Amino acid sequence: MTPRDTQKERLRELPSVDQLAISVARAELKARREELLAGATDDVDLVHRARERLRPRLRRVLNATGVVVHTNLGRAPLAVEARAAVAKAAEGYCNLEFTLADGRRGSRSDHVDGVLCELTGAEAGLAVNNCAAAVLLATAALAGGHETVVARGQLIEIGGGFRIPEILAQAGTHLIEVGTTNRTRLADYAAALGPDIGAILRAHPSNFRTVGFVEDVDIEALCSLGVPVIDDLGSGVLRDDWDLLAQEPSVRRSVRAGAALVAFSGDKLLGGPQAGVLVGTRAAVHACRVHPLARAVRIDKLSLAALEATLALYRDPAAARRALPVLAMLDADPAVLERRARELADATGGRVVGAVARVGGGALPLLELSGPAVALDPGVAGADALAAALRLGEPALIGRVHEGQVLLDPRTLTDGEAQCAAQVVRAARA
């Protein structure tokens, strides 16, 4: 087929005016009728609402907040390689649970098991839907029906309702708290280990720090107690030879220490898709694989494709730092940020000021990434009104309001996105 034929074909596939209009009008009128019956007295523009209904709800946005792993904005943008893998997996069929060598049924976890072992030194690995699911599955599989010991300082809330005590209850394990909020010692753990112990859980206090009179037990000592240790690292880092991320716990270290299971996120500092990764001993990973919850928290083929491609990049750490957007943004060349900020300021009539970017996603909460940002003149309407107008731009531009100014941080924009951001600013002003 020629491109012209394809175009004709696509034109023929468009729904008729009647079809489109009737379906949107029905939905809109039904919603309005319900509002009126519920007592609404406001005036609404139903045509505008119908137009909005036809736009995708999940939209591309320009992240100019300087928060690199922004959970509300979808966390990690994917590397080119991961995007290509997703497109390929989405386009046709794939050997998701099929062994090409013998034509038998295969396991979806086989696709990343090998590379996870290679990168972390673990005996086995498994990918699930997200790290919250990984922790739920790990505790259910190793300690369901038994006891789990957790330090009081680690009974944390990650956000989005993920609280360790509640997750343990859902996993069907009985929580035994040890130590105090600020200090827990090895002897506290040892004293709590009874005949019904299932596991010790260590949870990384990702998004806060306790300072001062504090003491906790390192992973090597915990593993020396002879009880299966589940180590929830949250973000975690795969490479422990990188200064910038040295404050985050390393996956390799926990594996080396002998943790039964180490859990970490696919879309925090790893820089991949939403996923949860479990690595550890063969027996512990097997227990997770065969647990009934495994099916409920399994990873889908698109995320799996992106995760495999992301992990493959880590085989060459220098290449990973360039190719993975999250790592590249954290490690951005100051000269590039300076130039991008200047161009954005010139194109928007803003000023280049000093600002602080953040990692986000509950990782490295104290790390400040200093760099330039563009402060926009808020005009008479003020900064909040300008920020709101930018959010309604096409595409939406999300900045940060700081001391009465809207700041645009070039760290979380590409060069192309920065040009696009300038157009959004000009359109919002016009």
Ligand X SMILES: *Cc1c(COP(=O)(O)O)cnc(C)c1O
Residues near ligand X (CB under 6 A) are 130-132, 135, 158, 162, 203-204, 206, 232, 234-235, 265, 276, 362
The residue number whose beta carbon is nearest to ligand X equals 234
* Whole-angstrom distance, CA of residue 121 vs CA of residue 12: 55
**51, amino acid identity:** R
Judge contact between 374 and 408, C-beta under 8 A. Answer: yes
Minimum distance, C-beta of residue 125 to ligand X, in the bound complex (Å) = 16
Minimum distance, C-beta of residue 269 to ligand X, in the bound complex (Å) = 10
Minimum distance, C-beta of residue 69 to ligand X, in the bound complex (Å) = 10
Minimum distance, C-beta of residue 102 to ligand X, in the bound complex (Å) = 34
Mapping DSSP to helix (H, G, I), strand (E, B) and coil, where does residue 24 land? helix
Number of residues assigned to the chain: 430
Instruction: Compare residues 234 and 371 and give the one whose CB is closer to ligand X.
Output: 234
Instruction: Compare residues 109 and 139 and give the one whose CB is closer to ligand X.
Output: 139
Cβ neighbours of residue 184 under 8 Å, at least 6 residues apart? 151, 152, 153, 178, 215, 216, 217
Instruction: Compare residues 311 and 344 and give the one whose CB is closer to ligand X.
Output: 311
Minimum distance, C-beta of residue 103 to ligand X, in the bound complex (Å) = 35
Minimum distance, C-beta of residue 143 to ligand X, in the bound complex (Å) = 16
Instruction: Compare residues 178 and 203 and give the one whose CB is closer to ligand X.
Output: 203
Instruction: Compare residues 198 and 362 and give the one whose CB is closer to ligand X.
Output: 362
Give residue for tokens 């049924």.
Answer: 105
What tokens appear for 105 in the block? 């049924």
* Whole-angstrom distance, CA of residue 424 vs CA of residue 374: 14
Mapping DSSP to helix (H, G, I), strand (E, B) and coil, where does residue 83 land? helix
Minimum distance, C-beta of residue 156 to ligand X, in the bound complex (Å) = 7
3-state secondary structure 221-263: HHHCCCCCEEEEEECCECCCCCHHHCCCCEHHHHHHHCCCEEE
CA angle 188-251-241, nearest 5°? 120
Instruction: Compare residues 131 and 141 and give the one whose CB is closer to ligand X.
Output: 131
Judge contact between 407 and 377, C-beta under 8 A. Answer: no
Instruction: Compare residues 206 and 310 and give the one whose CB is closer to ligand X.
Output: 206
